[in-house]
Structure 1
């Protein structure tokens, strides 16, 4: 069993056994339990697709955020992000604005329906 399988097993166990969440810090545990209270199908939930028109509006509204974040995160992406790791930039509504990472991370994100112009929420 590889590290990814172990991670997935632990993640799934945390959904069904409250005691498994005790190792989380308080804020993470509270957020996790709030998400559980929404009764989402955590194995099949997908983000909301945003129309091109709305995404263009969001990009206009978040230009300062994107420019600042890019000035900080793009150099990190080039120098330090490797081995499948990456960073994701969201706006305040949960819209995914940019994925920072090398090919391995980008491929993993695409395979898991993590893509730009989608809105992520704990709620349905």
Structure 2
């Protein structure tokens, strides 16, 4: 990260997280701690979680008390649930796309039992 964002890490105090904290995808290859690239399941020891909480302290306490009134929480939750975009805000996409056959939409065009014949058949193919 940029020098203004990067925290100085001490090997003695932050030794548990100093190796992988600024990696692009940390703990991706360590299957004991993380289940894969989606970080759906992870397991970190207590000292590592304590170190991460200590490092996040300066960032977590700088919250404006009026922030609740400047943001419409209901619109945020509804748009996130429906995967819609708020004008001027983020668009939420699911982290894992379901590609199972049971979840596919079946309509007139995607039904496997129907065949659409477009145009006349040529007699050469009969």
TM-score range (shorter-chain normalised) is under 0.3
TM-score by length of 1: 0.24
Please state which structure has a larger fraction of its residues in helix. Answer: 1
Please state which structure has a larger fraction of its residues in strand. Answer: 1
Q: Which has the larger radius of gyration?
A: 2
